[in-house]
Structure 1
Amino acid sequence: MISPVVRYSVLLMSTLLAACSDDADQQQGSRPPPEVAVMTIESQPVQNVIELPGRVEAVRTAEVRARVTGIVQRRLYEEGTEVEAGQELFHIDPRETQANLNSAQAALKSAQANAANATRNAERYEELVQRSAISRQDYDAAVAEARTARANVSQAQAAVESAELSLEYTRVTAPIDGVAGRADVTEGALVSAANATLMTRVEQNDPIYVNIAQSNSDLLALRAQFAAGQLVLPEDGKVEVRLVLENGAEYPHPGYIDFLAMTVDRSTGTVAARAQFPNPDRSLLPGQFVQARVLAGSRPEGILIPQRAVMMNNRGGSVMLVNDAGETESVQIVLGDMRGSNWVVRGGLEPGQRIIVDGWQGVRPGTEVRTRPFQREETPTQNAATTGEQN
């Protein structure tokens, strides 16, 4: 049997617990709903930005190679400096080529003398054959000899021109304007015309190219959006590109797409594209890695929301809505890129919906809340959604 003392203790504890529960219910019922800051979604034109990795490439690259065999006597430029087309970069010992030229010129004079003698013989034979003093066969042989002599003159003249060209090649010049790189040969080095010895490179870096590649599936989706009117190109039809350098700084000069390949790379499934940029201060260097932001048209019905309103999870992003009954709902959204302190929303939200910007951390879906308009400072460069009047 339970003793009277134990029975009394149990009854007393039950009474106290019931009283505490009633007090808690009364306090909870009297507590006001939490207050949150909300904004009404409004659509507006938003630039469609696609971020792609890119590599910088010179507009023109010329490999300066030996076109004559000889010993390098001098390097006539400073490595890494600007050179002009036709400026002399190296001087190869010209003595051997000069000797070849002298020999060719002597051979030409000999051929010219032989041609002159053969021509006079043919002229004399013509008079003699008319008087039947010689046979027609002898005359024809004299004419043929004169023609052969003239052909030898032409051949010797070509040899002289070739020797003159070889002598000219001993003065190695820049084929284009640009920056001359490090010399691949030094004074005293033997360069070969047969092996086309590389001597240096000249690169033209202003303007300059940036090569990028986009997946074919993304490109097809873009074309479908343009066809459906979801994206609109600028009036001039130019696609602007901005660059972010490896240190996070934005390159100050915009560029424009000037080439799009008509084939898909079989190994990567991407389509190559190229943008051209001004490079007046030579801050972009060939081979440099950059991040390209391609402004692929604009979305007339775009949506921007503050970054602080987005909850990130393993499925992406979500926001907390306030419905017409004043209760909260969690909605999964599709995020695009960041614009300052705002997210571009690609899907999941519609104009007119109200999202919680501040205070969503303390509420759960289905919670009744009190709302106040979200206020923020607008800046001239901020591309943000407009905050409407909230209730």
Structure 2
Amino acid sequence: MKTAITARLHQAQASASRVPHSDSHGPQRAAYGGWWCAVGAALLLAACSKGGEPAAPVGKQAVQVGVVTLQPQSQQLDASLPGRTRAFLTAEVRPQVSGIIQKRLFTEGAVVKQGQPLYQIDAASLQATERSAAAAVAKAEASQRTLAATARRNAELVKIDAISQQAYEESQAAALQAQSDVAVAKASLETARINLKYSRIEAPISGRIALSAVTPGALVTANQTTALTTIVQMDPMYVDFTQSSADVVQLKRELEAGRFAKVEGDKIAVRIKLDDGSDYAHQGKLAFAGVIVNDTTGTLTLRAVVPNPEGLLMPGMYVQALLPTALAPDALLVPQQSVTRDLTGRPSVLVAKEGDVLEKRDVELDRAVGSQWLLQSGLKAGERVVVDGFQRVKAGDKVKPVEVDMQAKAARKSTRGEPPVQAAADAPAAQPASK
């Protein structure tokens, strides 16, 4: 090809030399010669390009990607279950005697102690009843002393036949009856004193007290249906949550199959997440697991006892309970950011095989464990999964793998409160080929 082009170039130069050599054609001949030289140079370059041999060879460099090497580990599996907080103790305060409220002796919303006075009921009538009962006791005791003395005297007289047997027996019965009258009078006095004590309504439990339903001057009756106020004890707190019966059955099957190990312990620790997604500072203990499935919702009810020293939890709050359900002894976890899905939703990852060549691998995922997926099948221990830079590569590409420390990366994010500046090992950048 180069020889043909050179021959054509020589022909062009010869044609240019045949132009008349008169002085008038000198500029024209010079123009023809320059034009043909330019054409020849262009044809020579084109021929070289068509020959497939670039003037300067360009080498494509391998793209640097971040990878994580899968290692088996013992992983506790948690079930995230919705729940509501319940007060550990709740007491509705009601009057046990009738009367007019004279005073309210507490501050609404404050913390009260067991036995602390809450209301004072007008006790004038109750005091009078108590004094009357005390007088009745004194009268009964006086009568009992008289009849007891008569009975003792008749017991001596009957021995010498000074009185009849009937008179003796009647005196003994009268003495016993007088003794019973004293007991009845004392019981009435005790009742009067109890009612007088109930004129001052006290807190039955310690806790935080709610609003008062009555004000001084209100008439209240014994054992009325409307509570005067309510006291709740909030340390500790109950957390009631539900679990699907289908999940329970599936877990039992997996335990029987040996895939997972059972979580042992008398008191299983339960972690709590608040409704804003933050972690609650204190762990609770599982106190009760239901055995009857709700025929409407198909769920079981469970209850945990959670410390609440700061009073952050309040009755009726929505929370998430993280309940340990099983232990995966040889779990393989892949970061969620490494998993992509096709249009049908099937998950897959890119694996750096031997020779640092990428392979697309379909996987089956079990459940989310934090920011990772628990792998069910598709990968094995020791394989390298691409977690960073996979947007710039595809299956079959040769890459330069760099190991990524996912724990350190997550720690930097949590410390700074924002995505950190990525280093070369964390966010490999593709290096463009030289031109």
TM-score (normalizing by structure 1): 0.79
SS in 2 for 1:198: coil
Question: Is it true that 1:283 corresponds to 2:315 in the alignment?
Answer: no
Structure 2 Cα separation of the partners of residues 44 and 171 of structure 1: 63
Shift of 1:296: 3.2
Give the structure 1 partner of residue 77 of structure 2. Answer: 48
1:167 equivalenced with 2:167 (yes/no):
no
Measure the CA separation in 1 of the matches of 2:133 and 2:344.
81
Amino acid paired to 2:189: V
Q: 1:382 to 1:220 in 2, by over 3 A?
A: farther
Which protein has the bigger strand share? Answer: 1
User: CA distance change for structure 1 residues 255 and 314 in 2, over 3 Å: closer, same or farther?
Assistant: farther
The answer for the alignment partner of 1:357 in structure 2 is 387
CA contact (8 A) 1:319 1:356 kept: no
1:69-148 aligned at under 5 Å gives the runs 69-148=98-177
Secondary structure of 2:250's counterpart equals helix
Give, in angstroms, the shift of residue 259 of structure 1.
2.1
Cα shift readout 1:37-64 (whole Å, capped 9, x = no counterpart):
4544332222312111111112111222
Q: Match of 1:186, SS?
A: coil
**Residues 187-196 or 166-175, more deviating:** 187-196
Q: Which residue of 1 aligns with 2:398?
A: 370
8 A contact 1:323–1:329 mirrored in 2:
no
Q: Hey, what does 2:329 align to over in structure 1? A: 300
Deviation at 1:227, TM superposition (A): 5.0
**SS class of match (1:379):** helix
**Residues 186-224 of structure 1: per-residue CA shift (max 9 Å, x gap):** 211222214365222221111222111212232233344
Task: Give the one of 271, 274, 292 matched to 2:303.
Answer: 274
- Bigger-Rg structure (1/2): 2
Alignment gaps of 5+ in structure 2: 1-49, 51-57, 412-424, 426-435
* Distance in 1, Cα, partners of 2:61 & 2:258: 43
Moved over 6 A (4+): 30-34
Please tell me whether the aligned partners of residues 206 and 233 of structure 2 are also in contact (alpha carbons under 8 angstroms).
Answer: yes
Q: Percent identity between the aligned chains? A: 35
1:241 paired residue number: 270
Residue 185 (structure 2) aligned to one of 142, 151, 156: 156
| Distance in 2 separating the partners of 1:46 and 1:62 | 43
Deviation at 1:271, TM superposition (A): 2.1
CA gap 1:145/1:170 in 2 versus in 1, 3 angstroms: same
**Deviation digits for residues 81-133 of structure 1, max 9, x if unmatched?**
11111111111111111111111111111211221222222223223333323
Count of residue pairs brought into register by the alignment: 356
| Aligned-partner Cα distance in 2 for 1:375–1:322 | 13
What are structure 1's unaligned runs of at least 5 residues? 1-22, 24-29
Q: TM-score, normalised by structure 2?
A: 0.72
Structure 1, 116-125 or 149-158: larger mean CA deviation = 116-125
2:296 and 2:152 mapped to 1: Cα distance?
74
Q: Which amino acid aligns with 2:370?
A: R
The amino acid that maps onto 1:339 is G
State whether residues 231 and 300 of structure 1, in contact with CA within 8 Å, keep that contact through their aligned partners in structure 2. Answer: yes
- Secondary structure in 2 aligned to 1:145? helix
- Opposite residue 309 of structure 2, the aligned amino acid is P
Q: How does 1:162-311 map to 2 (within 5 A)?
A: 162-195=191-224, 197-227=226-256, 229-232=258-261, 238-311=267-340
- CA distance in structure 1 between the partners assigned to 2:133 and 2:220 by the alignment: 23
Q: 2-side partners of 1:312 and 1:250: how far apart?
A: 30
Does residue 339 (structure 1) correspond to residue 370 (structure 2)? The answer is yes
Give the 3-state SS of the residue equivalent to 2:174 in structure 1. Answer: helix
Do 2:352 and 2:385's aligned partners in 1 also have CA atoms closer than 8 Å?
Answer: no
Is 1:59–1:203's contact at 8 Å kept on the other side of the alignment? yes
* CA deviations over 1:122-177 (Å, ceiling 9, x no partner): 22322333332332122212211211111111111100001111111111111222
Letter in 2 for 1:182: L
Cα displacement (A) at 1:288: 0.7
Q: Distance in 1 between matches of 2:148 and 2:409?
A: 88
Q: Residues 19-38 of structure 1: matches in 2 within 5 Å?
A: 37=65, 38=67
